[in-house]
Amino acid sequence: MLENSNCVLVREADDFAPCVDYIARTLGRWSGMTIHAVSPKEVADRAPIVKPACLLLYGRQEDILVWRQVGEKQLRAPVIIAIQRSDFFGAQFLETPDLPEPANNLLEATTAEGFANFCLREGNRFAEVRLDLIAAAFWFLSRYEEYVTSPPEPHNRFLASFSIAPPEMYDVPVVNRWFEQLERLWRSLGGETMSEVLPPRARIVLTHDVDLLRKYRGLMGVRRTISAMMRGEAREVEITLRPAEPVAFTEFGAGPPDAALLGRLGLGATA
């Protein structure tokens, strides 16, 4: 429910909304926030009753200017962060394997110093990230280029050497680093309020490796997946672990933990 979200993401309700929403849910799981993605019309209709702790705007420059006014005047969100949308989600989608942004810019944004070069702050409530990290995260997490590119490999495998991304982008968990920079920005703008919204959590998120994406050419696989997401039939499963009580590192010995220690960790012994 929108009313129960502590973060609202405003984006266009176009054909690419499921892709953007997928990254929003991933960011939400990673940060521990409840992020709800909506269209500008939905925000205007629900503005009187929705007051999120953080408002994310994902759009082009002209869209951000309009949506920001709604966020400030109607939603009265204490923190507003805008991320500029590139042309990646557009006419050339699934036509070329290109990165949404220059590789050197994306690498630079993995560090606090580099991220600051793409972040424009206005006061203590608003910041604009002029780098499409939403599309970049989608490019990496969906393995977008593996669907678009046919690799010259006898076993039809996509090797890391085939990627158009430079090798150094695979030496760093770039998506994690971008999320970390966004979280730091949230905390610096929101202060103690964001500390309450972003509690520390230990998380395990199960993922799956999908081989041979190219066999779904003709958009059949992508259309099927996006349609399932839009109908709400696609489900993502996560396991969240939170220790029942703190356990000192010295209590872990060389042998397997006993039942009592497992219980304190909030786990159960299995055969």
- Residue 239: strand pairing partners: 204
The pLDDT tens digits for 86-137 are 999 999 999 899 999 999 999 999 999 999 999 999 988 899 999 999 999 9
pLDDT value of residue 159:
81
**Burial status of residue 136 (CB atoms within 10 A of its CB: 0-12, 13-18, 19 or more):** buried
When pLDDT is averaged across residues 173-194 and rounded to a whole number, the result is 85
- Residues 6 or more apart in contact with residue 224 via CB below 8 angstroms: none
Q: How far apart are CA 236 and CA 26, in angstroms?
A: 10
Q: What is the DSSP letter of 157?
A: -
CB 142, CB 210: distance < 8 Å: no
pLDDT value of residue 62:
94
Average pLDDT over the chain reads 79
The pLDDT tens digits for 124-165 are 889 999 999 999 999 999 999 988 887 777 777 788 888 999
CB 148, CB 97: distance < 8 Å: yes
Res 232 pLDDT > 60:
no
Res 47 pLDDT > 50:
yes
The percent of residues in the chain predicted with pLDDT above 90, rounded, is 43
When pLDDT is averaged across residues 219-240 and rounded to a whole number, the result is 54
Judged by average pLDDT, the poorest of 35-39, 68-72, 259-263, 267-271 is 267-271
- Location of structure tokens 């399932």: 228
pLDDT value of residue 223:
55
Give 270's pLDDT tier (boundaries 50, 70, 90): very low
CB 160, CB 151: distance < 8 Å: no
Determine how β-strand 202-204 pairs with β-strand 239-241.
antiparallel
Give 24's pLDDT tier (boundaries 50, 70, 90): very high
CB 174, CB 163: distance < 8 Å: no
State pTM to two decimals. 0.73
pLDDT value of residue 240:
45
Q: Which amino acid is at 199?
A: P
- In the three-class reduction of DSSP (H, G, I as helix; E, B as strand; rest coil), residue 47 is classed as coil
Q: Which amino acid is at 37?
A: A
- Residue 59: strand pairing partners: 84
Q: How many CB atoms lie within 10 A of CB 78?
A: 17
Higher per-residue pLDDT: 204 or 175: 175
Res 227 pLDDT > 80:
no
Rg (CA), the chain: 21
At 99, list the tokens: 């990165």
CB 200, CB 31: distance < 8 Å: no
When pLDDT is averaged across residues 28-49 and rounded to a whole number, the result is 80
pLDDT value of residue 76:
79
pLDDT value of residue 237:
46
pLDDT value of residue 239:
42
- Residue 83: strand pairing partners: 58, 129
Most confident of 167-176, 210-219, 245-254: 167-176
Q: How far apart are CA 244 and CA 242, in angstroms?
A: 6
